[in-house]
Amino acid sequence: MASLPLSRRTAMGAIGAWGVVAGLAGCGGTSAGGGPGGDDVPKTLRVGLIPNQAPDKIRAQYRPFGDYLQKTLDQPIELFVATDYTGIVEAMASDKLDLAYFGGLTYVQAERRADIVPIVTEIDRENDTPSYHSAIITRADSPIKTVADVKGKRFAFGDINSTSGSLYPRIMLDRAGISSFTDPQRFVYTGGHDATTLAVVNGTVDAGGAEKRIMQRLIDAGTVKADDIRIVEQMLVMGYPWAVRAGLDRGLQNRIVQAFLNIKDAELLKLMRAERYAKVAKEDYEEVRREARRLGLLR
pLDDT above 60: residue 132:
yes
Q: How confident is the model at residue 82 (pLDDT cuts 50, 70, 90)?
A: confident
Residue 186 Cα distances to 132, 206, 207, 210, angstroms:
27, 10, 10, 17
Strands 116-124 and 274-279: antiparallel
Q: Which of 123, 118, 131, 125 has its CA nearest to residue 242?
A: 118
* Mean residue pLDDT across the chain: 87
Does the domain formed by 16-124+240-286 have CATH 1.10.3720.10? Answer: no
Cα–Cα dist 32/264, whole Å? 30
Q: Quick check: 156 and 200 in contact, CB under 8 A?
A: yes
Q: What is the pLDDT of residue 60?
A: 79
Q: What is the mean pLDDT of residues 117-127?
A: 93
Q: How confident is the model at residue 51 (pLDDT cuts 50, 70, 90)?
A: confident
Q: What is the phi/psi pair of residue 10, to 5°?
A: -110, 170
Q: How many CB atoms lie within 10 A of CB 266?
A: 9
The reported pTM is 0.83
pLDDT above 70: residue 34:
no
Q: Quick check: 172 and 235 in contact, CB under 8 A?
A: yes
Strands in 242-245's sheet, in edge-to-edge order, are 77-81, 45-49, 99-101, 242-245, 116-124, 274-279
Q: What is the pLDDT of residue 24?
A: 44
pLDDT above 80: residue 25:
no
Q: How confident is the model at residue 200 (pLDDT cuts 50, 70, 90)?
A: very high
Q: Quick check: 198 and 110 in contact, CB under 8 A?
A: no
H helices of 209-249, where? 212-220
| Torsion angle in degrees (nearest 10) through CA of 172, 100, 8, 62 | 110
Name the packing angle between helices 250-261 and 55-73 (round to 10°).
Answer: 110
Q: Which residues contact 31 (CB under 8 A, 6 or more apart)?
A: 40, 41, 42, 43
Q: Provide the 3-class DSSP secondary structure of residue 132.
A: strand
H helices of the chain, where? 55-73, 85-93, 104-110, 168-175, 193-201, 212-220, 250-261, 266-271, 286-294
- How far the first Cα of the chain sits from its last, in Å, is 38
- CATH topology for 131-238? D-Maltodextrin-Binding Protein; domain 2 (3.40.190)
Cα–Cα dist 62/121, whole Å? 15
Same fold, 16-124+240-286 and 131-238: yes
pLDDT above 50: residue 270:
yes
Q: Quick check: 122 and 131 in contact, CB under 8 A?
A: no
Q: Quick check: 253 and 136 in contact, CB under 8 A?
A: no
Q: In sequence order, what DSSP letters do the residues of 52-105 get, joined into one string?
A: SS-HHHHHHHHHHHHHHHHHHHTS-EEEEE-SSHHHHHHHHHTT--SEEE--HH
b/e code 120-142 from CB counts within 10 Å (16+ = b): bbbbbeeeeebebbbbbbbbeeb
For the chain, which residues make up each domain, given as ranges? 16-124+240-286, 131-238
